[in-house]
Amino acid sequence: MKLATWNINSLTVRLPQVLDWLGANPVDVLALQELKMSDDKFPHAAFAAAGYHASCFGQKTYNGVALLSKTPADNVVRNIPGFGDDMARVISATFAFGAAPDAADNLPNGIRVVGAYFPNGQEPGSDKFEYKLAWLKGLRSWLRTELLVHPKLVLMGDFNITFDDADVWDPEGMRDQIHCTDEERYELNALIALGLHDAHRLFPQPAKSYSWWDYRDFGFRRNHGMRIDHILVSGALRPRVTACRIDKTPRKNERPSDHAPVVVELA
């Protein structure tokens, strides 16, 4: 079983790239961020032709998230229940990869997938930064309850936060800057404290493994990037994780997204 996340930075522009990537990487679930389109523009037919069901939560011009899956989504929820927000940032659904309970833990085989596009925050001290911190607290409060109902849970997406200096090409230059502040990292680690685990770091990884590179100053060519796209798995799923990787190949495309897909494999 493979799950993946990818901020595609406009599905209108990069639909062919997403379809090509799915053809070469037929994951079971793909969470997309930054669709930058309204729901009525979402290309359901194109994904259906590729063998994928699609649940979307779009927004004109900005934001927008979707879950593409080989099996139909159940119990789809949009945004964070209990947190008032007019931005399309979160979509959740359950996917049944087998109907019978798992003999190993007596838990249903259905996995709850939460695909999220975390706020950028702009800069520390700004109104958008305060919104980001409030949003993170709202997400954590909801996930605490969600994990009780769905012990097999995956939270993945563009977090717009690094865990530590190892996730940043220039940690000193970025210190206390957006994506790298103590406040953001505190909230990210508070999610970990709920019982979630960073799938990427469950395995040895190459040094300077990043998932985002600025379009400017030859950022990708020089590997001046950050790891801000994450896949967090619950404790019930951690023993099932067999691999996690960042696929840099699509970043080499013509007119690529500035993010690369992250893929986790579960036994």
84: exposed, middle or buried (C-beta count within 10 Å: 0-12, 13-18, 19+)? Answer: exposed
108-130: pLDDT as tens digits? 569 999 999 999 999 999 999 99
pLDDT band at 261 (very low <50, low <70, confident <90, very high): very high
For residues 108 and 98, what is the distance between their CA atoms, to the nearest angstrom? 8
Task: Provide the pLDDT for residue 102.
Answer: 52
Domain architecture of the chain: domains with CATH: 2-266 (3.60.10.10)
Mean pLDDT (the chain) is 95
158 is catalytic: yes
Sign (positive or negative) of CA dihedral 107, 266, 10, 124: positive
Q: Which residues contact 224 (CB under 8 A, 6 or more apart)?
A: 169, 170, 213, 214, 217, 218
Q: What are 154-182's pLDDT values in tens digits?
A: 999 999 999 999 999 999 999 999 999 99
Per-residue pLDDT for 45 more than 60? yes
**CA 243-49-245 angle, 5° bins:** 15
For 54-106, how does the pLDDT look when each residue is reduced to its tens digit (9 = 90+)? 999 999 989 999 999 999 999 999 999 999 999 999 999 999 975 445 545 55
Looking at residue 106, its pLDDT comes to: 52
What is the spatial distance between Cα 3 and Cα 17, in angstroms, rounded to a whole number? 18
Q: pLDDT tens digit string along 186-220?
A: 999 999 999 999 999 999 999 999 999 999 999 99
The verdict on whether 28 is a catalytic residue reads no
Query: What's this model's pTM, rounded to 2 decimal places?
Result: 0.95
Cβ atoms of 179 and 162 closer than 8 Å: yes
Residue 23: closest CA among 266, 264, 250: 250
Q: Quote the distance between the C-alpha of residue 182 and its chain's center.
A: 21
Active-site pick, 28, 158, 167, 229: 158
Q: Which of 28, 117, 167, 229 is catalytic?
A: 117
**Amino acid 97: pLDDT:** 76
Over pLDDT 90: what percentage of the chain? 94
Q: Which of 191, 246, 188 is nearest to 213 (CA)?
A: 246
